[in-house]
Amino acid sequence: MTTAATVWERGRFDARVGPSEVLFGRMYEDALIELEAFRPGSRVFCIASAGCTAMKLAPHHEVVAVDINPVQLAYANRRFDGDPGFRGKAERVMDFARVFGPLAGWWPSQVRAFLELDNPVEQIEYWDAELDTWRFRTAVDALFSLTALRSVYAPRFLDFLPKRLGAVMRGRMKRCFERHPNRSNPYARSLLLGELPSDPPPPEAKNIRLVHADAASFLENEPPGSFDGFTLSNILDGVDNAYRQRLFAAVKRAAAPEAVTVLRSFGDASASSPANRAADDRAMLWGSVLVRPAGAF
């Protein structure tokens, strides 16, 4: 196993020594991307994380959900059984950031009014007039500064991030509000208010196969041509090139003819790619959401 693989295996965002944690209480990845990309009835490899994507795919596909963090995997399993779950490390970090909302002029009543809008033109007018204030911009720049991020994240999780991340994240938020109605966007409510979806698992969740493994190791040991789709979350954020190439080779080997991959990243390295669907992902966080044939992976 490479050093890169152990970045996620530790089950922690920080560099401290300690037990693995539930990093994600929910996933901030719009599974509509995957539902459009994968043919119905496909056999899909999925990063388990909090289980959200696997549950969205399960009614339409055979899903194998893999995670290298055993604590996160057990959490997803409980959610498949109907447990409502709880706030993971990522949610607690965002909760802390939201505490400063009123100082930036973001009062809950304003945010709720914004989230009730369903016309992107009106949303941008409201955003520009009421929410994208100089105090908000200053606060976001401070929260997404390297100094602040180093208090939470190990260096491996920061090296790939774009410069001036605060401005980049504000741009991604505005991109989302320009395209997607707020009222029907559960990710906007989760990110801006911290209200997590409480949808029950579909009956098909019981059919999801859960596996504790490193993604590359698992795929290297699967029969060739055994998966029609791969949704890989942002598994390559924070890893070295050796692991990246290893995963690419493992995906290509395990891919059936015409298999499709979905790979997300907080970075902007692939932002200009014609395969980038980041603007279509209602979760608004991503620099790239690459939807490509596995053969081009």
Q: Read off the pLDDT band of 1 (50, 70, 90).
A: very low
Same domain, residue pair 210 and 83: yes
Range of the domain at 260: 3-89+206-238+248-296
> How far is it, in rounded angstroms, from Cα 60 to Cα 241?
34
> How far is it, in rounded angstroms, from Cα 83 to Cα 14?
27
Same domain, residue pair 113 and 148: yes
Is residue 85 within 8 A of residue 25, CB to CB? The reply is yes
Residue 274 domain flag: yes
Kindly tell me if the per-residue pLDDT of 4 is higher than 70.
Answer: no
Q: Phi and psi (nearest 5°) for 210?
A: -100, 135
Same domain, residue pair 106 and 142: yes
Same domain, residue pair 130 and 173: yes
Same domain, residue pair 79 and 104: no
- CATH value at residue 22: 3.40.50.150
> How far is it, in rounded angstroms, from Cα 40 to Cα 9?
32
Residue 181 domain flag: yes
- Beta sheet of 227-231, edge-to-edge order: 209-212, 62-67, 43-47, 227-231, 255-265, 288-293
Q: What is the pLDDT of residues 76-135, one digit of tens each?
A: 999 999 999 999 999 999 998 888 888 888 999 999 999 999 999 999 999 999 999 999
Same domain, residue pair 82 and 126: no
Q: Which amino acid is at 10?
A: R
Residue 243 domain flag: no
> How far is it, in rounded angstroms, from Cα 183 to Cα 119?
9
Same domain, residue pair 36 and 101: no
Same domain, residue pair 134 and 271: no
Final residue before a domain boundary, out of 193, 228, 261: 193
Looking at the structure of the chain, the number of domains it has is 2
Residue 198 domain flag: no
Q: Which amino acid is at 97?
A: A
What predicted TM-score, i.e. pTM, was given to this entire model? 0.93
Q: Which amino acid is at 15?
A: A
Same domain, residue pair 214 and 177: no
pLDDT, the chain, mean:
93
The residue with tokens 């989760």 is 190
> How far is it, in rounded angstroms, from Cα 49 to Cα 76?
7
Kindly tell me if the per-residue pLDDT of 287 is higher than 90.
Answer: yes
Same domain, residue pair 217 and 152: no
Final residue before a domain boundary, out of 159, 193, 227: 193
Same domain, residue pair 85 and 211: yes
For residue 274, count CB atoms less than 10 angstroms from its CB and return exposed for 0-12, middle for 13-18, buried for 19 or more: exposed
Residue 212 domain flag: yes
Residue 201 domain flag: no
Q: What is the pLDDT of residues 50-82, one digit of tens each?
A: 999 999 999 999 999 999 999 999 999 999 999
Q: What is the pLDDT of residues 231-249, one digit of tens each?
A: 999 999 988 889 999 999 9
> How far is it, in rounded angstroms, from Cα 166 to Cα 281?
19
Kindly tell me if the per-residue pLDDT of 8 is higher than 60.
Answer: yes
Residue 262 domain flag: yes
Residue 199 domain flag: no
Same domain, residue pair 85 and 121: no
